[in-house]
Amino acid sequence: MAEEFLLEMENIRKQFPGVLALDGVQLKVRPGTVHALMGENGAGKSTLMKVLLGIHHPEEGSIHFDGVEHTHMDIHSSLKHGISMIHQELSPILHMTVAENIYLGREPLISKMVGWVDHKKLNEQTSELLKGLDIDIDPTTKMVNLSIANMQMIEIATAISYNSKLVIMDEPTSAITEKEVAHLFRMINNLRDKNVAIIYITHKMDEVFEISDDVTILRDGQYVGTEKASDIDKNKLISMMVGRELTNFFPKADAEITDVKLEVRNISLEGKFKDVSFEVRKGEILGIAGLMGSGRTEVIESIFGVYPPDSGEILIDGKPAEIKQPIDSIKHRLGLLTEDRKMSGLFLPLSVRDNMVASNIQDYVTRTGLDFKRIEKDCETQRQALAVKTPSLNQLILNLSGGNQQKVLIARWLLTEPDVLFLDEPTRGIDVGAKSEIHKLMSKLAQMGKAIVMVSSEMPEILGMSDRIIVMHEGDKAGELSREEATQEKVLTLASGEKLTD
């Protein structure tokens, strides 16, 4: 007897100008299961979900949901039929309350005739929803006052509030702590017990094997296969995703570590961190570890001039450097890859080319205007060197996958010819193949004598790529470890504010 599926997508084909995004893709999801959808950035995962939600309409293929064929779906009909989605990119209405965000357009009314919202009832039903999900947030709190992690939890609560039969979760753990991940998994298990199906999209391999029942793999817009999660291991999954074996996740090549390039002495920023000192040498990759909120990002942004420190000293090549704003850093040959590429890195309405030259556009100014030929040549060189997958440099950056967007941002800073490169979560939200490429690039830059400072929440990345590790705890430098002595236990001990014991 054939197994019953809640969702059956078959032979889905979707074409965009110059790009065949999906070619004969299928996805079959059983009720009451967690179904991981895996693939490198650009594999077609997001496009397939947009087809399911009715944002895109396929040229070919069929969609059956809950036994009924759906041909002309849109967002509203998807929600009506029981399909909701938690998006990777958060888009809350910041100056409205938690309750108003969750039930936007579905508010209980005192009178339908005049459209007055019953705020008392709205807050009560929101409180009941959050309590049922064990989320301790006041419904009357404005979204602007929440952390990114709590905004993510509200996004999850919103999707669940529709009483959906199928919930799509796109990178739901990208901005939450390990404790909150455990909370999310309890919520997912609770939904599974209620026969709700989950499509779970993530780049974190460990999560796939911890939470999912089935796994479907896409590659280059094509269907590779579906496996029971219990029947495959990490190596097989990666091989199916990238079409090749990735034997070296952290290709840390030896580099000659020489003179101190950058030194910070006792820098402080009120409310963020205090008396932080460290140095980084040419050819060295310095890792900065710590729990969320420990001050890691704030330290490197402060050095770069985003929020200049209140006190302390910054030295480059042993000489004091006055950095009041990012342009000063660029003049001193510092570069900063920010943590959130969408919010503080990319110019989404602009092309790949325009995004690449955004930080050094002045280098192309001539007496008669911009030297477009040189811009084209330099950007094409970077595109090829970093293997950026794009039909052309004229392509809008928002149409590229996350991994390729990240490569464009790295290309932007390489065009400024930096001596020190700050990398804040350089591989967040990108696939395993693109991660490997960025790790290789980091090693290559170190071998060229660049000094690299890397902030990362991923323990394997910190341990695998760093020559030395600084650990932050609540705005303090809690300790420093060499590559040889660093272990996961030691890093976590320092990150928790504990002292290392012999």
Q: Predicted confidence band at 2 (pLDDT cuts at 50, 70, 90)?
A: very low
Q: Predicted confidence band at 78 (pLDDT cuts at 50, 70, 90)?
A: confident
Q: Is residue 346, in this structure, part of any structural domain at all? A: no
- For 161-259, list the strands marked E by DSSP: 166-170, 197-201, 214-219, 222-228
Q: Is residue 404, in this structure, part of any structural domain at all? A: yes
Residue 291 has a pLDDT of: 77
Query: Is there a contact between 219 and 39 (Cβ–Cβ < 8 Å)?
Result: yes
Query: Within this chain, do residues 404 and 425 fall inside the same structural domain, yes or no?
Result: no
Tell me the per-residue pLDDT of 318-360, one tens digit each, with 9 for 90 and over.
Answer: 999 999 999 999 999 999 998 888 778 889 899 999 999 999 9
User: Cα–Cα distance between 283 and 260 in angstroms, integer?
Assistant: 10
Tell me the per-residue pLDDT of 177-204, one tens digit each, with 9 for 90 and over.
Answer: 778 888 889 989 988 998 999 999 987 7
Alpha carbons within 13 angstroms on the beta-carbon side of residue 4 total 8
Query: Is there a contact between 81 and 122 (Cβ–Cβ < 8 Å)?
Result: no
Alpha carbons within 13 angstroms on the beta-carbon side of residue 265 total 8
Domain end residue (candidates: 401, 417, 433): 417
Residue 1 has a pLDDT of: 28
User: Cα–Cα distance between 382 and 385 in angstroms, integer?
Assistant: 5
Q: Predicted confidence band at 87 (pLDDT cuts at 50, 70, 90)?
A: confident
Q: Is residue 345, in this structure, part of any structural domain at all? A: no
Q: How many domains does the chain have?
A: 3
The answer to whether the predicted template modeling score (pTM) of the entire model surpasses 0.85 is no
Query: Within this chain, do residues 105 and 227 fall inside the same structural domain, yes or no?
Result: yes
Q: Predicted confidence band at 244 (pLDDT cuts at 50, 70, 90)?
A: low
Q: Is residue 313, in this structure, part of any structural domain at all? A: yes
Tell me, letter by letter, the H, E, C secondary structure of 137-182. Answer: CCCCCEHHHCCHHHHHHHHHHHHHHCCCCEEEEECCCCCCCHHHHH
Residue 436 has a pLDDT of: 82
Domain end residue (candidates: 242, 263, 297): 242
Q: Predicted confidence band at 36 (pLDDT cuts at 50, 70, 90)?
A: very high
Residue 49 has a pLDDT of: 92
Q: Is residue 269, in this structure, part of any structural domain at all? A: yes
Q: Give the CATH number of the domain where residue 226 resides.
A: 3.40.50.300
Tell me the per-residue pLDDT of 119-178, one tens digit each, with 9 for 90 and over.
Answer: 999 999 999 999 988 899 999 999 999 887 788 889 888 988 988 899 999 888 876 777
Query: Within this chain, do residues 215 and 359 fall inside the same structural domain, yes or no?
Result: no
Residue 245 has a pLDDT of: 56
pLDDT of 282 above 60: yes
Query: Within this chain, do residues 312 and 363 fall inside the same structural domain, yes or no?
Result: no
Average pLDDT, the chain: 89
Residue 18 has a pLDDT of: 67
Residue 237 has a pLDDT of: 86
Query: Within this chain, do residues 193 and 212 fall inside the same structural domain, yes or no?
Result: yes
Query: Within this chain, do residues 94 and 171 fall inside the same structural domain, yes or no?
Result: yes
The whole domain housing 479 covers 248-333+418-502
Q: Is residue 206, in this structure, part of any structural domain at all? A: yes
User: Cα–Cα distance between 386 and 408 in angstroms, integer?
Assistant: 8
Query: Within this chain, do residues 407 and 428 fall inside the same structural domain, yes or no?
Result: no
Residue 408 dihedral angles phi and psi, to the nearest 5°: -65, -40
Residue 248 has a pLDDT of: 58
Residue 48 has a pLDDT of: 94
Q: Predicted confidence band at 304 (pLDDT cuts at 50, 70, 90)?
A: very high
Q: Is residue 340, in this structure, part of any structural domain at all? A: no
User: Cα–Cα distance between 137 and 130 in angstroms, integer?
Assistant: 7
Q: Is residue 145, in this structure, part of any structural domain at all? A: yes
End-to-end CA, the chain: 61
Query: Within this chain, do residues 33 and 124 fall inside the same structural domain, yes or no?
Result: yes
Domain end residue (candidates: 226, 242, 258): 242
Residues 6+ apart with CB under 8 A from 114: none
Least confident span in 119-123, 183-187, 428-432, 483-487: 428-432
User: Cα–Cα distance between 267 and 274 in angstroms, integer?
Assistant: 6
Query: Within this chain, do residues 77 and 115 fall inside the same structural domain, yes or no?
Result: yes
Least confident span in 2-6, 136-140, 278-282, 451-455: 2-6
User: Cα–Cα distance between 393 and 4 in angstroms, integer?
Assistant: 46
User: Cα–Cα distance between 395 and 412 in angstroms, integer?
Assistant: 16
Residue 502 has a pLDDT of: 64
Q: Predicted confidence band at 430 (pLDDT cuts at 50, 70, 90)?
A: confident
Least confident span in 58-67, 107-116, 478-487: 107-116
Query: Within this chain, do residues 433 and 317 fall inside the same structural domain, yes or no?
Result: yes
Query: Is there a contact between 295 and 271 (Cβ–Cβ < 8 Å)?
Result: no
Query: Within this chain, do residues 43 and 145 fall inside the same structural domain, yes or no?
Result: yes
Q: Which residues of 87-120 are buried (b: 16+ CB within 10 A; e: fewer)?
A: ebebebeeeebbbbbbbeeebeeeeeeeeeeebe
pLDDT of 41 above 70: no
CA distances from 317 to 260, 314, 331, 335, 414 (A): 7, 10, 14, 16, 20
Query: Within this chain, do residues 228 and 315 fall inside the same structural domain, yes or no?
Result: no
- Strand-pairing partners, residue 469, are 287, 481
Amino acid at 278: F
Q: Predicted confidence band at 437 (pLDDT cuts at 50, 70, 90)?
A: confident
Q: Predicted confidence band at 43 (pLDDT cuts at 50, 70, 90)?
A: confident
Give the pLDDT mean for 415-443.
87
Q: Predicted confidence band at 264 (pLDDT cuts at 50, 70, 90)?
A: very high
Q: Among residues of the chain, what percentage have pLDDT more than 90?
A: 55
Residue 344 has a pLDDT of: 81
3-state secondary structure of 73: coil
pLDDT of 439 above 70: yes
Residue 313 has a pLDDT of: 96
